[in-house]
Every structure is written in structure tokens, then in C-alpha cells.
């Protein structure tokens, strides 16, 4: 059982994806602290395939929002979206509109070098470190994955041998947001073989609270 008081666990437990931001400024040194933590992540052959762009310029943010929303409209109107996913988005009020791209005081673009081994796995691992470090500094975030990352990458001048993995708004949340439920140990962890439960833990015993 995870130690509820331990630092990493409580940061992970408290952290949630925030989609509504106040325009209050934040300290860039806190952002650099979080990026520094991300730079300590392991990576395939230690190639450190990640690159970060700290975006504070309002015109760049506006242009990113314009390009992203254009593709989000197509994505949200597309017939290919599974029914459950359409419902999941609706319940959370997630639409094609991406106000956080202009409201959040800082956007972090994270790119991965396609030529590096395990570039995406490594970059997302670094993003995980980043999110917890932001949480530690009291900063909210969201791993927004644009519907057309290439179009957003062009706005930022990201070269073709890099993929834009995420645009992460960073700032202070507007309002309070509930934590999304999580599965517990009993639903997700087996002992020795697939399907073999941990002793004393039947599915349903550890409810996400």
C-alpha cells in the first residue's frame, strides 16, 4: 500500500488536469525548476530526446489557439469519435474551444526527437516528472495533445525531425476541480501471473476516493 504521507504519492494524488486558468502571472523560476526535474528523467540510451519551449508571448499563444481550435473543431465534429468518448468529453465540458491556450500565463511545448530510440516513451516519462514538480510548486497543468500536432509545431518553428508531444498550460486554476477517479491496486496489480490477485485484495476493495 502506498504511504499516503509520502511526498511523491501525495503530489500524484493531489495533482489533476486543469482546463480553466486564471490569468495571474506565475514565476518563471518555478517553471524552470519543474523543467530541471524533467531533465533528470531516464531516456532510451540516455539520448534525452526532449526539448521544451516556454511560451509567454501573447501573440504566439493566440496563434497556437487559433490553429489548435481549427483542428479541434474538425476532431469534435468528426463522425469517427466513439460514442463513449463523445459522452466522456460532454460530461466534462471538453469542447473544441481551448481557452487555456491563451488564459494560462505560460505554455510549455514539449517536443521529442524522432531519431532517438524510445523518443516518445522517454519524453512522456520526462513529462511525468515535470507534472509532479509543477504540482510541488503549486502550479496547475494539463497535458494537451493537439488534434494536429504538426500544425501547432509549425507555429513554433519546431523542425521536422521533432514531434510536438504536448502543449502544457501552466498557471493557477480558476475554480476547484474534483479528482478523476482512479482504479485501485486490486484492479490493476497481479501477483506472479496475469489475473492472480494480491493476497487479501479482491477487486473492488481499494476504491479511488
52 scored as a contact of ligand FMN (CB under 6 A): no
- CA separation for the pair 13, 128 (Å, rounded): 13
Whether 47 and 116 have beta carbons less than 8 Å apart is answered as yes
- CA separation for the pair 171, 23 (Å, rounded): 8
Whether 186 and 201 have beta carbons less than 8 Å apart is answered as yes
46 scored as a contact of ligand FMN (CB under 6 A): no
State the DSSP H helix or E strand holding residue 85, giving kind and residue range, or none if neither.
helix 83-91
Residues that bind ligand FMN (rule: CB under 6 A) add up to a total of: 10
6 scored as a contact of ligand FMN (CB under 6 A): no
10 scored as a contact of ligand FMN (CB under 6 A): no
Considering only residues 170 to 199 of the shown chain, the ones binding ligand FMN according to CB under 6 A are 179-180
* Nearest partner of 95 among 56, 55, 68, 67, judged by Cα: 68
Provide, rounded to whole angstroms, the least separation between the CB of residue 177 and ligand FMN. 7
208 scored as a contact of ligand FMN (CB under 6 A): no
Compose the 107-146 pattern: x for residues touching ligand FMN by CB under 6 A, - for all others.
-----------------------------------xxxx-
94 scored as a contact of ligand FMN (CB under 6 A): yes
Amino acid at each position: 500500500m502506498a504511504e499516503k504521507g509520502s511526498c511523491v504519492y501525495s503530489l500524484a494524488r493531489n495533482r489533476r488536469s486543469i482546463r480553466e486558468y486564471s490569468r495571474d502571472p506565475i514565476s518563471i523560476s518555478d517553471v524552470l525548476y519543474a523543467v530541471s526535474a524533467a531533465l533528470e528523467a531516464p531516456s532510451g540510451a540516455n539520448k534525452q530526446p526532449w526539448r521544451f519551449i516556454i511560451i509567454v508571448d501573447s501573440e504566439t499563444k493566440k496563434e497556437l489557439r487559433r490553429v489548435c481550435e481549427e483542428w479541434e473543431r474538425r476532431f469534435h465534429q468528426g463522425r469517427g469519435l466513439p460514442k463513449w468518448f463523445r459522452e466522456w468529453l460532454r460530461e466534462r465540458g471538453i469542447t473544441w474551444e481551448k481557452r487555456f491556450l491563451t488564459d494560462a500565463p505560460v505554455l510549455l511545448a514539449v517536443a521529442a526527437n524522432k531519431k532517438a530510440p524510445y523518443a516518445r516513451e522517454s519524453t512522456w516519462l520526462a513529462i511525468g516528472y515535470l507534472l509532479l514538480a509543477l504540482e510541488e510548486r503549486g502550479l496547475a497543468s494539463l497535458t494537451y495533445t493537439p488534434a494536429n500536432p504538426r500544425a501547432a509545431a509549425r507555429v513554433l518553428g519546431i523542425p521536422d525531425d521533432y514531434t510536438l508531444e504536448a502543449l502544457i498550460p501552466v498557471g493557477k486554476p480558476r475554480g476547484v476541480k474534483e479528482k478523476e477517479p482512479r482504479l485501485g491496486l486490486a484492479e490493476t496489480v497481479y501477483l506472479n501471473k496475469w489475473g492472480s490477485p494480491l493476497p487479501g485484495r479482491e477487486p473492488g476493495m481499494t476504491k479511488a476516493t
